[in-house]
Structures are given as structure tokens and as C-alpha cells.
Structure 1
């Protein structure tokens, strides 16, 4: 039977989306429709314009996130499910719970204006981060093998948050007071489009850290990730009480978190390259790895240059085979790490390793030929 590179790289019998992913996307789609109906009821204007403005920055933001995912790309169906969860399930849960908290607790206690502020500063950060982070905990439970380090957690967390922020922005733009739509777009679409991704990325880092720990030591990093996300979200929402100074300080905190995540991404990329250099030489005797291959796999730049050279001299098919080889080599190196940490049993290790080696051998025969 012909090899299915997509299935082998995903670690599944076929490349078709799993039942769990299909169900998640379907449920999220229904929740999205219900959430939009709730959010836009009662006085929303210019809904079409609001949708266009909410979607406008999305391609650039998605491109930025996916650019971080080049060394070991995540399965597209899992990324779609994460985005859909944020846009549908998380938005609906947050809308219902935040509205209930405002109507039943904060408004009767503090009045209309202070009740809105309390909801935004106290209730919303907890509810929204829990709703977004639930799918990341689901990944930790059901698809832990996809979480090979903090980069994966940041990618999935950001995808969930982008889905959430896009739908949330539709409601903000649709209810913007007359004459303030442009300012609302500048504030939410240009000045602070990374608020939700930064918050939920912290949960992702915690979940990904937990995925590489034994079962009894997974709770603390997840809790720490949630606490960091809620704190950052709450500081940003509460900062408006201190005027421009408060907003400026909250913005600086967000920049600090962004820089910190950048450092984490850089170190994780170096760690992955180190794993490739450490574990792949043992397969030289099988003919699937040579010293030149290790040099080619040593950075994103050398990988890209190799693909461009093969594409220009041999065509798109061999270039695609080289891309499969690069990803399979990276997956194999990270498999060795999980095995070394005792997270993969012997038979599971062999069942995952052998198809990757088979794919590497076939792919190498194509792009070297």
C-alpha cells in the first residue's frame, strides 16, 4: 500500500480528521450561531461592517502564529478545532455566565456602571480564560502526544484565543456608539489584538509543560498557566479605571509577557534542534540519515533553503518529500524525548518510530534521486 505521509506524521491510521475533531467543530459551529444571536440581539447596527472589521486583522494574526509553527507543524484539523472552540463554545459559555453574573450579582449590588466594571475586571477574566483553556486541557487529556513543548502550547492557545477575540470584536463593533466605531477598531483591532492570544498562550505553556511531566505532577503547571492568564486579563480590563496611565502600564505588562513568550519560543526551537542532533545519528546505519542531513535539519533557514533548491532543480514533488522528511525527523527526535522521560511505553515507541523511519527512507529516496 502507498504511504500516507499526512497520516504517519499525525500518528493516526488515516489522515482524515478524527471523530473527536469532527464533533468539536460541529458543536462549535452550533455554539457560534447561538452566541452571535445572543450577542447581537437588541440594537446591534452595521453587523456586516462589524464582521468585516473583526475579520480584517485575522489573516495577518493567523500568519504570524503559523509562522511560529514551522519547525514541527501541528495537524491542521487540530488547529481548526481549537479556533472553532474559541469562536463558538468559549464565546457562548462566556456570554451566558458573564451576563448572568452581571444581572444577578454585580448590577443589583453595585448598580449599572460599577456592575459593568466589576464584571469586566473580576468575572470576565476568570470565566473567559476557563472557557478558552478547557479545550487545551482536553488536548492534554486526549491528544497529549501533540504537546511536545511550550511552542505547541502557545500555538494552540493563540488559535483558541483568536477565534474568541474575532467573535467578541463583532459584538463590540456592532454596538459601538455613533461616531466611535473607528476608535473602537483602532483600540481592539490595532492596539490590542494580542490581548486574548497572550493570555491563553500562558495557559498553553502550562498545559504543554504538564504534558511532559508524569501524571502526578501535571496539576501545578496547568494551574499556574491559568493564574497567569487570569491575572494578565484582569489587569488589562481593570486598567481603564486609572485612565491612560493605567492603560499604559497594562500595555507595558502585555509587552513584557510578549517578550517573555518570545524568549520561550527561541529556547524551545534550540531545544528541538538539539534533540534532532542528539537522537538521529543512531539511524545512520539504516541509510535514512547522513551528516549532510543533520546540517540541513539544524535550523529553519537551512531547511527552507534545501526545499527551495530541490524545488528549483527537481520540482514540487521532491520538495514536498523533503518537507515530509524534515517533519518526520523532528517528530522522531521528540518521540525519543518523550520515551526518555518515561511518557511512552516500549511498544508505543516502536509503533510510532517505525512508520516515521519508513517515511524518512521513502522521502529521502525521492528528493535525493
Structure 2
């Protein structure tokens, strides 16, 4: 339902842009899609240890591209009219709309999806990386739709090259970087014990997103020097996020090494599997081996096994932090063990684990 609603909103935005842009709409649409071909794979590659469900990622992207973009178009226009009436000057109206009105409107609208996931799909947010990825998907969707409008307007005044350089080359990750602040806050809340932090962390993250967005818009409107400052700010934020993702990956490997060996006596995991699950290179080798041995079914089973085993390690951490009810955690644990047992029986029908090919690539 949410995906369908977001898709309808996106269609409305595209129809409105097509009616107003004419021939420039096609050019704007194609140029807006170009950055997605680069940055979507990059963002998705951040979460190779525990990939998020495709339907959740699609919803995040469509929410940003559809719902958030459509509503922000209306509210930003109203803000501009009100602010301009108060300030008289059109230039001042545009400036204060960009620095104050737009950051609040856009970041709040993008945050609704993340807050909704925190409420309805908390179990999908297992670390800071998950929050960053979902937030980045929302931001990429929003940026793509917004860029269409900017490119259409630029084409009408012969400034398309400059605007494309600014929005698609110099600052293609403005919205993902800003919304990632909210994503981190939501992830902190999802992993926290019941208490005030579950309420304050998302709000602090949202405040950070609004502040970063406002600072960027204010700095980039101050000429070359301001633009350089804005770009430097964005670069620093990106580096910080990359460090966070790398630390999260090491944390996840630590959880796998700590918790999964306890399940060796059950037969759903062997020590060689624990080693495989701790390395991206070994995981890939295992999937390739399973596919070559048993076709697509076996390869899919290996992928499901890796996913379930990783989530099992994360589940134990959530249990230690009391991030969910014990009965809920136990139900999830039993479900994950069932998936691991079923998948293992598919790609490894015999009991032996000696000389498995990924054992030599696990380090």
C-alpha cells in the first residue's frame, strides 16, 4: 500500500513536470537519472554484510521521490509566497525559503518514512549502517525528482550545463548526507533499551539534518567561497559516515565471531561457516560455489543462510540490550534457525563440512 501510494505521488510529480516542461522534461528526466546510476550501487554496496529487504529499499526511494517531493513542492511554494509578502523583496524571499523553510519542510517529510520504519519495522534497523542506507535511499529519490524541476528551469534560460554541474557533479549527495543524520538518530533509537533515548535520538538526528541542510544552502548562496565551504562541509560529513559504516562492519564481524560458535553443537553452523560469514570475500566465494554446485536454487539458499546467520548474531546483541520483548526475540531466533537449517540442507545436503572452498578465502 505504501509503495503504491508513493508511486502515485511520483506519477503526479512527473506529470506536472511534463506539462510544464514540455520538451525540456525529457532532457531533465534523463539528466536526473544519470547520478542514480552511479550512487545507487555505491550506497547499496555499503550493506553487503546484511542486505536490506528490496521492498523496504524500494519504498524508501519512492517515498523520497514521490510523497516527500510532491508535498514539499506545495509547501515550499506556500512558504515562498508568505515569506516574500513579509519581506517584500523576491530575492530575500528565495533566500530565506532556501535557508529556513525548505530544510525544515524537506527533512521532516523525508524523516516520516524513517520514523514509520522505527515504529512499524524496527527489526529491519539493526545498526547505524541500516539507518544511513534507508535515509540515503530516501534522499536519492528526493534529489532525483527535485533535479528534474531544476534541469527544466535551467534549460529554459540556457544554464543547463552549469546547473547540472552544480547538482549532479559537485553536490549530488546533499539530500542523502543530510537525511543520513536522521537515519543515524533512528538507528540509535532502534537499538536502544526502552527509555527517553528512543524518543530523543530521532529528534536530535532530524535537527542535525535540518541544520546541515540549512547551512549548506546558506553557504552555497555566498559565491565561490561559500560554495567551497559548503562542499568542504559535505566532504567532512561523508568521511564521517564512511568511518561509521566501516566501524559498523567490524562490529558485525565481532558479533558473528562471538555468538555463532555457540550454535555449532546444533548442526546449523560449523566453525568454517563462522569464518566464511566473517569475510565478504569468503561470502562471495561460498555463493559462487553453491551456485556452481546446485544451480540458482542452491545459490539462493546460500544467500538466505548468510542473511539469516548474520541476523541471528545481531538478534543476540538486541537481546543483550533489551531492545525488544523476550518473547518476540525468541520467536525471531527460532525463525532464523529454521531458515538456516532449511537453507543448509539445500546447498549442503550431506553432513560433511571438510574441504569447503570458502575455508581458504575466509581471512
TM-score by length of 1: 0.89
Residue of structure 2 equivalent to 1:68: 46
Residues 215-263 of structure 1: CA deviation (Å, up to 9, x unaligned): 3221221122112211211121112332111110110110000000001
Measured in 2, the distance between the counterparts of 1:312 and 1:295 equals: 21
- 1:222-301 mapped onto 2 (5 Å cutoff): 222-301=202-281
Measured in 2, the distance between the counterparts of 1:215 and 1:34 equals: 40
Measured in 2, the distance between the counterparts of 1:294 and 1:350 equals: 21
| 2:303 equivalent to 1:341 | no
Residue of structure 2 equivalent to 1:366: 346
Measured in 2, the distance between the counterparts of 1:39 and 1:315 equals: 46
Q: CA deviation at 1:110?
A: 3.9
Residue of structure 1 equivalent to 2:300: 320
Q: CA deviation at 1:314?
A: 4.2
Q: CA deviation at 1:24?
A: 1.1
Residue of structure 1 equivalent to 2:160: 181
Residues 10-57 of structure 1: CA deviation (Å, up to 9, x unaligned): xxxxxxxxxxxxx21122122223334555665665111111111122
Mean Cα displacement is larger for which, 259-268 or 299-308? 299-308
Measured in 1, the distance between the counterparts of 2:185 and 2:86 equals: 37
Q: Is the 8 A contact 1:212 1:338 kept in 2?
A: yes
* Root mean square deviation of aligned Cα: 1.7
Equivalent pairs, count: 347
Residue of structure 1 equivalent to 2:92: 114
Measured in 2, the distance between the counterparts of 1:42 and 1:360 equals: 53
Task: Name stretches of at least 5 consecutive residues in structure 2 with no aligned partner.
Answer: 350-363
Residue of structure 1 equivalent to 2:82: 104
User: CA separation of 1:314/1:102 partners in 2, compared to 1, >3 Å: closer, same or farther?
Assistant: same
Residue of structure 2 equivalent to 1:13: none
Mean Cα displacement is larger for which, 282-291 or 252-261? 282-291
Q: Is the 8 A contact 1:173 1:181 kept in 2?
A: yes
| 2:56 equivalent to 1:78 | yes
- 1:199-238 mapped onto 2 (5 Å cutoff): 199-216=178-195, 217-238=197-218
Residue of structure 1 equivalent to 2:291: 311
Task: Name stretches of at least 5 consecutive residues in structure 1 with no aligned partner.
Answer: 1-22
